[in-house]
Structure 1
Amino acid sequence: MSHRREVKAGGPYEQQIYHERLRMFCDQICASSQAYFFWVAALLAILWFAESDTIGMVVWTLAAIAAEIVKVRVLKSFLKLDDVQGLSGWEWRIAGAMFSEGLIVSAGVALLLDVHAEYALFSALFLICATAYTSAMYHIASLRTYYAWATSLLTPWALKLLMSDNEYYWILSGIMVIGSISYIPVAAKVLHKYMIEALRLRHENLDLLAIAEKEKNSADKANADKTRFLASASHDLRQPMQAMALYLEVLAHRLKQAEYHDIVESLQASHASMGRIMDSLLDISKLDAGVVEVNLEPIHLDMMIDQMVGDYSLSAQKKHIRLRMRLNGAVVQSDLVMLECVLNNLISNAIRYTESEGTILVASRRRQGKVVVEVWDTGIGIPQDQLENIFTEFYQLDNPERDRQKGLGLGLSIVRRMVQLLPDHDIELTSRMGRGSCFRISLPEVELKAVTSPCYDQETEQFDGMCILMLEDDPVVRRAAVILMQEWACEVADVGSISEALTIVEQGWTPDVMIADYRLQGNTTGLQAVKEVRAQLEQHVPALIITGETGVETILEIANADIMLLHKPVVPGELKSILNQFSKKISNL
């Protein structure tokens, strides 16, 4: 009954542990068959030197071999089972086989040896007792079978000694009985307890590993779902925004009356706000895709900071914030586009979280052989336990209502990931609640040689009369693009499918440039369209893919092709810049 209570105490792993320890016991006993035969051979040798009855020794040897065969068959029958039901019954069968074998061996030797052959008697007794006591280490997986085995080995010898007429043997028998009762249960239970605990811990660890693996798979799936969602949502939102951007540019170009300028500017500002949110999603997708290329070059930091402070001065004035800068004439080695993105995010964040009459300082200074750009603000500050969280995606302080005018909470995540991509760059943050924050970007300094200065001037338009094949299956977006490019004095042929594009080319019209949306009707893509048009013309037509996709696979596919890429909503200035680049390539052919 005590053994049954111990098994039930195993908790949720009771059956698994019970089945596993019985299998361990059976494996160990099957593996020890060779040792068993050596033990029987040693006892047989003692009987031989004691000149015991020959026929008795033969019968005993055959019985010992038969008992081992029966025992091994019982053990292997259990090992073949996959079902964990009826374990207690199997344990009784195994214990019976062990008891029978032990009794045959031990009782046979006790009967065959003459009590007066003292040397042989004590040698055999030593082997029997040693086997009974040391078996505790190998049989601890099943207390029931060990008790059966030890009892079958020791009982015949205790009776043999007790039934002799030698008082010395009576004392020896008493010592055997008392020693066995005091040692075997205690030692076996202690070892058995440790083994059960080890098995229980093993199962708990396996469950924890399974839970951890499940949580990891769940997190990976959630991350993949997030990427797919961003890609889908971004594409669907960018389609109407693309048309809006193009029509706003046409509207601003055509409306000459001053009273309409404020309305157009307000519309453009609202559209730009939506575009920044889409750009944040796009930046994260590009970083996830690993297609952001680092182009290091010397950059005159003073000119960049001066331009940015000028760009944000109006936003700061509207909130009555003092926006200042302190420069040191440093030239740094960095990526122009990525560094602009990092500083833009930091300055816009500072303005967003700084109250009226506050101060923002953008400064550069040298420290320990590097140049450090610091963005100080007197804003609300960041709690110490949140300093790391603010660099995670979609995390925002002081925006429980999720006001999208405050963005999506992607800016600082983009900042950290871009800084990590740039070699020898680092970012630090210090903050005090109610006092403000300071972000520090450390950059490598270079000697003043050929320096790249940020250029924000619009490029001179060089694409008058350019023949453009426009492939877009959304009529609204296509119409807006056609109107805009015609305003720029381009000759535009607009189509809605690959077949229409090929028809125009077959009729003898050769485009200078091809512009195509990525996702087209009928599960076709702009990438396919460009390849088929180039194949039809047998020439490498400069091409531009415009897409709202932010998925990793799409970005990689386009990045690996010899086709330029713009993401919706396309700012007209970006489109002009691309067309100017195409114009230069064409003129150099």
Structure 2
Amino acid sequence: MRARGEETLSAESQPDTPSGNPQDASLIDAIESASEAFVIWDAEDRMLFCNSRYKSFFAEPEKVRPGVRFDALVEMNIAYTSVAEISLLPAGWDPDQYRRARMSCHNLARDTFIQLRDGRWLQSCERRTREGGIVGVYTDITERKRAEEALDAAKRAAEEANLAKSRFLAAASHDLRQPLHAVGILVSALSARLEDDRQKEITAQIGECLETVSGLFDALLDISKLDAGVVTPAIAPVPLAPLMKALRREFAPLAQRKGVDLTVLDSRLAVRSDPAMLGRILRNFLSNAIKYTETGRVLVGVRRREGGLRIDVIDTGTGFDPAEAESVFREFHRLEGTAAQQGIGLGLSIADRLARLLGHRLEVATRPGFGSRFSLSAEAAEAPAVSTAAPLAPNRLLAGRRLLLIDDDPEIRRAALLLFEAWSCKAVAAAGLDEVPAALERLEGLPEALIVDYHLKRGRTGDWVAARIAERLGAPIPTVMVTGETAPELLQKVQGLGFPVLHKPLQPMRLRAVLQHLLG
């Protein structure tokens, strides 16, 4: 079985050459010895010359000789179905389609790919001569095609594995988020009611443990968000002074408990970035620096560099092999040591992906036993004016506000109502749309904000319930959507609803901040 319009040059099929011309004989011998198939057609599409390699592609090689027309060889391929596939030809063998496609490629002297019935692949390169004929060279690219197919198969397998990973993490985290969501709300509500210092200390420790677990879930959520493509940076001038102050305040207790000397230098500089994403990257760097430093120092500082700034997080911790400097940014990669058991190996991967979105550059310098430096380089910006107005106390902003919660989990409804009571809000809760009228009667007024779980019973979704409530009340109500979903496709859907979205397990302070923003 052979393939397509190609021909061959054997001794009896070679064209006459000038007698005694050694140059012509040497040229013919070189073409005959080539690994590629070679053929020349005249302006009337009659073969002038071919080598043996070309001839071997056909079912009846004895008919492939000077004088045969190209279309005759195409018909030979059709008769013997020698060709399995040709580029631009739809899947499946169709003689008419093959005839049209092959003649078109030949007449246009265009490159094409052809698969023979025996599985071999050829790359056809045809070009017009000055006399109007066509010269063709056919290269066996079977090994290249096999390598490409193996690469494509490996890529598909990797994509399928990544999708399976995302689905597993989404399912597992969704089931675990629900009870943690309720516990977090209850702890926050309890803390607001305690007066005994020892009780407050114990509650604070419980809260810290929940923060650790929430951090692990947030890492899974961040990966899902990045996979879903719903993370969009809001680039603006970001003053570094408030960020440095926040880092010092947040991480000083952790460093103190470990006996690590933490220094966060003040800075009056500013950088072009997204403040939330930049903070996420630096918090990850700082958290790792303290985690991997048993004794010694951790320093955070900013320095000018040509065309921008560089923010450094430097520690005197364990350090690691510089050969791992790139692999530490891979998902689920963890360094050796007991500190590595405290995480799941996603933090630096998230930092790297966020930095790419922001157009920032990350660097790592490390030496085993001496510590590490993680750096972020970005474009400098003019520092915006900072407001000096004193903010109102958080609870005063929400005191007396009327809230309606929609959640089909009774434990979460009870916990949330206790939390809203601690904030001095007037709040009611309903399991679904059918309980809303009774809840509104208890509220004694229209709700000023809705807090709605996205995934409700009987296939209802939070946006559908919010729309029905707005129809009944005759006006849209500011709405916060709460979800435990982490599957990339669902995250895209929820993120595109137009509501502020909070993720379980919910941190009460985040909910309070969003409500304060919505209610002005």
* 1:139 partner letter: K
* 1:377 partner letter: D
2:169 to 212, 227, 230: 230
CA contact (8 A) 1:513 1:542 kept: yes
1:432-447 aligned within 5 A: 432-447=367-382
* 1:474 partner letter: D
Tell me the secondary structure at the aligned position of residue 143 of structure 2: helix
1:450 to 365, 369, 385: 385
The equivalent of 1:374 in structure 2 is: 312
Deviation at 1:379, TM superposition (A): 1.7
Tell me the secondary structure at the aligned position of residue 462 of structure 1: helix
Aligned residues: 416
Tell me the secondary structure at the aligned position of residue 271 of structure 2: strand
Deviation at 1:561, TM superposition (A): 2.2
Q: Which moved more, 1:388-397 or 1:314-323?
A: 314-323
The equivalent of 1:571 in structure 2 is: 507
* C-alpha spacing 1:149/1:264, structure 2 compared with 1 (3 Å): closer
The equivalent of 1:488 in structure 2 is: 423
CA contact (8 A) 2:289 2:317 kept: yes
CA contact (8 A) 1:298 1:451 kept: no
Distance 2:227 2:48 in 1: 66
The equivalent of 2:96 in structure 1 is: none
Is residue 388 of structure 2 the alignment partner of residue 388 of structure 1? no
CA contact (8 A) 2:291 2:339 kept: no
* C-alpha spacing 1:250/1:220, structure 2 compared with 1 (3 Å): same
The equivalent of 1:534 in structure 2 is: 470
Identify unmatched segments of 5+ residues in structure 2.
16-46, 67-117, 123-138
Tell me the secondary structure at the aligned position of residue 381 of structure 2: coil
* 1:233 partner letter: A
The equivalent of 1:580 in structure 2 is: 516
CA contact (8 A) 1:517 1:547 kept: yes
* C-alpha spacing 1:207/1:497, structure 2 compared with 1 (3 Å): same
CA contact (8 A) 1:135 1:146 kept: no
* 1:462 partner letter: L
Distance 2:283 2:311 in 1: 12
Q: Give deviations 1:248-281, integer Å, cap 9, x for gaps.
A: 1122122322332232122111111101111111
1:247 to 177, 186, 189: 186
The equivalent of 2:18 in structure 1 is: none
CA contact (8 A) 1:427 1:441 kept: yes
Distance 2:250 2:428 in 1: 38
* 2:418 partner letter: I
* 1:566 partner letter: L
Deviation at 1:327, TM superposition (A): 4.4
1:169-184 aligned within 5 A: none
Distance 1:577 1:132 in 2: 83
1:143-182 aligned within 5 A: 146=62
* C-alpha spacing 1:402/1:315, structure 2 compared with 1 (3 Å): closer
Q: Give deviations 1:125-154, integer Å, cap 9, x for gaps.
A: xxxxxx99977465334799659999xxxx
The equivalent of 2:396 in structure 1 is: 461
* C-alpha spacing 1:266/1:456, structure 2 compared with 1 (3 Å): farther
Deviation at 1:444, TM superposition (A): 1.9
Q: Give deviations 1:293-318, integer Å, cap 9, x for gaps.
A: 32233333234223312321222222
* C-alpha spacing 1:148/1:577, structure 2 compared with 1 (3 Å): closer
Distance 2:305 2:64 in 1: 80
Distance 1:198 1:469 in 2: 67
2:55 to 128, 139, 145: 139
The equivalent of 1:520 in structure 2 is: 456
Deviation at 1:538, TM superposition (A): 2.0
CA contact (8 A) 2:403 2:451 kept: yes
1:184-583 aligned within 5 A: 202-356=141-295, 358-399=296-337, 403=341, 406-423=342-359, 425-451=360-386, 459-501=394-436, 510-583=446-519
Distance 1:141 1:240 in 2: 69
Distance 2:143 2:63 in 1: 29
Q: Which moved more, 1:134-143 or 1:431-440?
A: 134-143
Q: Give deviations 1:82-121, integer Å, cap 9, x for gaps.
A: xxxxxxxxxxxxxxxxxxxxxxxxxxxxxxxxxxxxxxxx
CA contact (8 A) 2:395 2:423 kept: no
Task: Give the structure with the larger helix fraction.
Answer: 1
Distance 1:321 1:135 in 2: 78
* 2:397 partner letter: Q
Q: Give deviations 1:411-440, integer Å, cap 9, x for gaps.
A: 1111111111224x2211111222211111
Distance 2:487 2:64 in 1: 68
CA contact (8 A) 1:227 1:551 kept: yes
* 2:183 partner letter: M
Deviation at 1:289, TM superposition (A): 2.2
Q: Which has the larger radius of gyration?
A: 1
Report runs of 4+ in structure 1 exceeding 6 Å deviation. Answer: 131-135, 147-150, 195-200, 455-458
The equivalent of 2:34 in structure 1 is: none
Using the size of structure 1 for normalisation, the TM-score is: 0.64
Deviation at 1:338, TM superposition (A): 1.4
Identify unmatched segments of 5+ residues in structure 1.
1-18, 40-130, 151-194, 585-589
Task: Give the structure with the larger strand fraction.
Answer: 2
* C-alpha spacing 1:433/1:481, structure 2 compared with 1 (3 Å): same
1:5-84 aligned within 5 A: 19=1, 21=2, 23-24=3-4, 28=6
